[in-house]
Amino acid sequence: MILLHMRVYLTRDAVQSCSRNILRRRRCTRCKTDGYVSTNSLLMDDRAVIRLSGPSDVVGISAVLPEGMYTLAAQAISPCRLLTWQARDLHRLIDRYPMLQSNSLRLLSEYRDHLQQQFLELATEHVEQRLAHTLIRLADQYGAPTGAPGQVKIPLMQRDLADLIGVSHYTVNRLLHLWQQQGLVQSRRGCVVVTDRQQLLTRAETPSES
């Protein structure tokens, strides 16, 4: 069990294991929750979040490389459970089942593509577009139906969204409040609900006039 804010590994640690985030099935005080891990680069007292890993995602894929080193840090942003393989055991499995190596390379390629897209958005898009694109991606990857037609819940807090797109918590709070008034989202305790995906997509694809 990985507790809130617990470090999974640190930048420049020698690679020791690879983990898969599995669904958290213990009931909280109020609700059933899935765990999330942020992969980030620590810069002095600040952190730059590179990606989020949710249920069924792999954390620490660098373990497939011989004598590797973690280039980023990983930290739980909500309680979660990780199914972990030690690097030496993983290498033995890869020798026995070559398909594991092919799947690992595919994952590394997907992470690279995700990183390229994130840098492209950071360099070319305004904050509104970045937030809209991020909400759409998270809704597609980790969103859960709310019971209302067309609505999807993203179980992340505003500060996590702010870290992910590189802006302040205040900026995300202001935009979500505005979009809630316009019927695009609902900002709730511990989550954001996408209520109008099409309008949110329009915001993502429309450059700001400011």
pLDDT digits (tens, 9 = 90+) for 74-93: 777 777 778 888 888 888 99
Reported as a pLDDT band with limits 50, 70 and 90, residue 36 is low
> Is the pLDDT at 42 greater than 50, yes or no?
no
The residue whose two tokens read 């694809």 is 205
pTM of the model: 0.73
Question: Computed from CA positions of residues 143, 145, 151, 157, in that sequence, does the dihedral angle turn out positive or negative?
Answer: negative
Closest CA to 51 of 59, 42, 60, 39: 39
> Do residues 79 and 1 make contact, with C-beta atoms less than 8 angstroms apart?
yes
β partners of residue 32: 27
What are the phi and psi torsion angles at 34 (to 5°)? -95, 150
What is residue 39's predicted lDDT score, i.e. its pLDDT?
A: 62
> Is the pLDDT at 41 greater than 70, yes or no?
no
> Is the pLDDT at 96 greater than 60, yes or no?
yes
Q: Give the N- to C-terminal CA distance of the chain in Å, as an integer.
A: 46
The CATH homologous superfamily to which domain 7-122 belongs is Jelly Rolls (2.60.120.10)
> Is the pLDDT at 16 greater than 50, yes or no?
yes
Give the pLDDT confidence of 98-150 residue by residue, as tens digits.
898 888 888 888 888 988 888 888 888 999 999 999 999 999 988 888 888 88
Could you tell me where in the chain the CATH 1.10.10.10 domains are found?
Answer: 126-205
Reported as a pLDDT band with limits 50, 70 and 90, residue 6 is low
What is residue 33's predicted lDDT score, i.e. its pLDDT?
A: 38
> Do residues 41 and 72 make contact, with C-beta atoms less than 8 angstroms apart?
yes
Nearest-angstrom CA–CA distance, 118 and 5 = 24
- SS3 category, 18: strand
Cβ count near 61 (within 10 Å) = 20
- CATH 1.10.10.10 assigned to domain 126-205? The reply is yes
Could you tell me where in the chain the CATH 2.60.120.10 domains are found?
Answer: 7-122
Reported as a pLDDT band with limits 50, 70 and 90, residue 190 is confident
Return the higher-pLDDT residue of 24 and 108: 108
What are the phi and psi torsion angles at 208 (to 5°)? -70, 145
> Is the pLDDT at 202 greater than 90, yes or no?
yes
